[in-house]
Amino acid sequence: MRILVVEDDLEAQRYLVQGLKESGHVVDDAADGDLGLSLALSRPYDVAIIDRMLPKMDGLGVVAEMREHGNTTPVLFLSALSEVDDRVKGLKAGGDDYLTKPYAFVELLARVDALMRRRSPVTVKTQLSVGDLHLDLLTRAAKRGDQAIDLQPREFRLLEYLMRHAGQVVTRTMLLESVWEYHFDPQTNVIDVHISRLRAKIDKGFDTPLLHTIRGAGYMIRAR
């Protein structure tokens, strides 16, 4: 996958580019807004990672220009600004996701993966399946093999999000943001307890576990 990184802190940029390359992506980089914008408009990228504060042209301006030219590349904003309403500004300007510095690289990678997945043609799905686990989005029913699973509404949303990102790492922050709509981290890790409850419902009594903990990163649902 092709990724554009626009970041003026050269050390951070080097680390980011190296990490993404090690994860198997093709990466172009730019250190200011002008160059970032011309790269974004001249080559196809799967994801653009853009810093909020850039020399020559601000990150918000870059994305606004991109959208003006009909460019729909998913954009992940990186910001070192205070975050209270900066997130709203970033998303309003056309950003798709927002990450505050300092961030863990796994968090960034998980979000980049999620953004790339979003790009693939969206078909309206009414059924999600991972292995023998099936989720019917219309009847709100879950089933593993022949066994029906009784889920609370929030558990259903949690499982739905995990299954939509099957095979991808999903971080705790991503779950908090999309399942609970909280853009802050509670001091205690409440998500882990929700996951273990869900795991008890879908994996208990089955030979192959589907819901995996990825150490130091988050969770992943996958068939094997």
- Residues lying near another protein in the complex (CB under 8 A) are found at 9, 11-12, 15, 53, 80-85, 88, 100-105, 154, 180, 182-188, 190, 193-194, 196-197
Dig out the tokens for 120 from the structure: 């693939």
Question: In this complex, which beta carbon is closest to another protein, that of residue 14 or of residue 125?
Answer: 14
Question: In this complex, which beta carbon is closest to another protein, that of residue 44 or of residue 102?
Answer: 102
Sheet holding 170-171, edge to edge: 170-171, 218-221, 211-214
Burial 80-114 (b: 16+ CB within 10 A, else e): ebebeebbeebeebbbbbbbbeeeeebbbbbbbbb
Find the shortest distance in angstroms from Cβ 199 to another protein. Answer: 12
Question: In this complex, which beta carbon is closest to another protein, that of residue 38 or of residue 196?
Answer: 196
Question: Taking a C-beta distance cutoff of 8 angstroms, is the pair 74, 119 a contact?
Answer: yes
DSSP-assigned beta bridge partners for residue 26 = 2
Question: In this complex, which beta carbon is closest to another protein, that of residue 73 or of residue 96?
Answer: 96
Question: In this complex, which beta carbon is closest to another protein, that of residue 69 or of residue 184?
Answer: 184
Find the shortest distance in angstroms from Cβ 224 to another protein. Answer: 24
Find the shortest distance in angstroms from Cβ 101 to another protein. Answer: 4
Find the shortest distance in angstroms from Cβ 205 to another protein. Answer: 20
Find the shortest distance in angstroms from Cβ 92 to another protein. Answer: 10
Q: At 5, which amino acid appears?
A: V
The continuous run of DSSP H or E covering 37 comes out as helix 33-42
Question: In this complex, which beta carbon is closest to another protein, that of residue 107 or of residue 132?
Answer: 107
The continuous run of DSSP H or E covering 170 comes out as strand 170-171
Find the shortest distance in angstroms from Cβ 187 to another protein. Answer: 5
Sheet holding 127-130, edge to edge: 127-130, 133-136, 141-144, 147-149
Question: Taking a C-beta distance cutoff of 8 angstroms, is the pair 110, 117 a contact?
Answer: no
What's the CA gap between 12 and 120, in Å, rounded? 29
Find the shortest distance in angstroms from Cβ 99 to another protein. Answer: 11
Q: CA–CA distance from 224 to each of 8, 23, 131, 132, 215 (Å)?
A: 41, 21, 8, 11, 17
Question: In this complex, which beta carbon is closest to another protein, that of residue 15 or of residue 126?
Answer: 15
